[in-house]
Amino acid sequence: MSSIRNIAVGLPVKEGHLLALEGTDRSRGLEFLRAIGGGIEFGERAEEALHREFMEELGVRLEAVALLGVSENIFTYEGVPGHEICHIFTVESAEIDAVPLDAELHVLDEGSPVRWVPISDIRSGDRTLFPTGATELLVTSS
């Protein structure tokens, strides 16, 4: 990646849990959580991208979103450097709220697992949440 990517991600919270994608960086042996969302397309507002991404990735509609903050995420994934400007939102969705806490979902376009994870595991550092800045915003908002 030789350019900065703008992304919009959401933090669905239910009963002290965050719905997040589970991932692995095999080059570092790192298991991590990733906030749900993706790239902002040219001419699209961050909030519009968030609605689109939740529909594409999970097939769910969002009723309300609120910007928590913007962070800069400079990282390496599978040995490849990356750079993102991340718009991080709270999200509300009746469809997401209906998902049981023990459910395992999968991202529709790639198959990655998505699960409810106790926020206490993220707060304590037992689980790593990306993008950078998402953990701090999650903890202060929940």
Domain ranges of the chain: 5-141
Q: Is the pLDDT of residue 141 over 90?
A: no
**pLDDT over 90, % of the chain:** 84
In this prediction, residue 1 carries a pLDDT of 58
91 with 11: CB under 8 angstroms? Answer: yes
72 with 86: CB under 8 angstroms? Answer: yes
Dihedral of the alpha carbons of 123, 128, 132, 134, in degrees to the nearest 10: -40
Residue whose C-alpha is closest to residue 10's, from 34, 40, 27, 31: 34
Within the chain, residue ranges assigned H as helices are 46-58, 94-97, 119-123, 134-141
Q: Is the pLDDT of residue 142 over 80?
A: no
CATH of 5-141, one of 3.40.50.261, 3.30.360.10, 3.90.79.10, 3.40.190.10: 3.90.79.10
| Cα angle for residues 16, 35, 106 (degrees, 5° grid) | 90
Average pLDDT for 36-64: 97
Alpha-carbon gap, residue 127 to 132, rounded angstroms: 13
114 with 105: CB under 8 angstroms? Answer: yes
Task: Using pLDDT thresholds of 50, 70 and 90, give the confidence band for residue 2.
Answer: confident
